[in-house]
Structure 1
Amino acid sequence: MTESTGFGCAACCAEDAVVARAHHQSHTGVRVEQMIQDDSHFIVSVQRCGLCSQAFVNVFTEYVDWVASRDAQYRTVLPITDAEAEELKTGRLSPHRAGALGHGRRHLQSDWPSEAGEPSVYWDSGVFEVREGR
């Protein structure tokens, strides 16, 4: 566990958000344990770090830009307890309520609005809103 968060390791919960994101995007870093929802513009999965087995809920939302074809993309990666992972996997916790897990907990955020040239990647805390893309 990292000292600052009580979750994860120095790779999956690195202080530098860009370093943490790179670990989450690598094929050996974090693996999908179970897809919860897999739609074209809204994807929710429970994932695990390959180094420390920390569980995460990963929420991806995309908003189609019908005019300029520059779809806005948002991703939130929140460390969760094994009990919370089980609730998501068994359907006792809806993906739409996943944001309630984030209250007071640090989560990795990647925001790529339509007008941006690249995503902004940062750690945030508090409740995050879970909305389906369109």
Structure 2
Amino acid sequence: MTEFATFGCEACCAEDALVAREHHHSYSGVRIEKMIQDDSHFIVSVKRCELCSQAFVSVFTEYVDWAASNDAQYRTVLPVTDAEAADLMEGRLTPHQAGALGRGRRYLQSDWPSDADDPTVYWSGGVFEVREGY
């Protein structure tokens, strides 16, 4: 994806989205630097890669499936600059404004709708909407 600005290392921003997701989910891969919002259906945090120190904003949204109890879950992991990470952690940039940072960058997306057996994991790019779950 050469049209996007380059961030991170071969582990946290691996070309294969599944490899990158595995690194982000491993205990030694990416650590939480600061929890920005921690609600039951909406979690936003700033994370940092243990290998290259790349900062990320992670946005998790869950929608309760009241009928079948199979809640839809969506996660976006966007690389951010150190200045943007600081702005998020200090409240100068709200979680809902984070989606605008996606312009010109690729981000790791995991979509797990209620009717799917497994999540779809892929790289995407561009501005994205940050919404709270319910």
> Same fold judged by TM-score > 0.5?
yes
Number of the residue aligned with 1:62: 62
Instruction: State the distance in 2 between where 1:82 and 1:12 align.
Output: 16
How far is 1:56 from its partner? 0.1
Number of the residue aligned with 2:110: 110
Instruction: State the distance in 2 between where 1:22 and 1:35 align.
Output: 20
> Between Structure 1 and Structure 2, how many residues are aligned?
132
Runs of 4+ off more than 2 Å: none
Look up the equivalent residue of 1:57 and give its one-letter code.
Answer: V
TM-score by length of 2: 0.96
Correspondences of 1:66-77 after superposition (within 5 Å): 66-77=66-77
Look up the equivalent residue of 1:72 and give its one-letter code.
Answer: A
TM-score by length of 1: 0.96
Instruction: State the distance in 1 between where 2:98 and 2:126 align.
Output: 12
2:22 is equivalent to residue 22 of structure 1 = yes
How far is 1:34 from its partner? 0.1
How far is 1:128 from its partner? 1.1
How far is 1:104 from its partner? 1.7
% identity of equivalent residues = 76
Instruction: State the distance in 1 between where 2:95 and 2:21 align.
Output: 21
Aligned residues of 2:5 and 2:104 also touching (Cα < 8 A): no
Instruction: State the distance in 1 between where 2:104 and 2:110 align.
Output: 18
Instruction: State the distance in 2 between where 1:23 and 1:111 align.
Output: 17
Instruction: State the distance in 1 between where 2:68 and 2:130 align.
Output: 25
How far is 1:27 from its partner? 0.4
Look up the equivalent residue of 1:126 and give its one-letter code.
Answer: G
Q: Alpha carbon RMSD of aligned pairs, Å?
A: 1.2
How far is 1:5 from its partner? 4.4
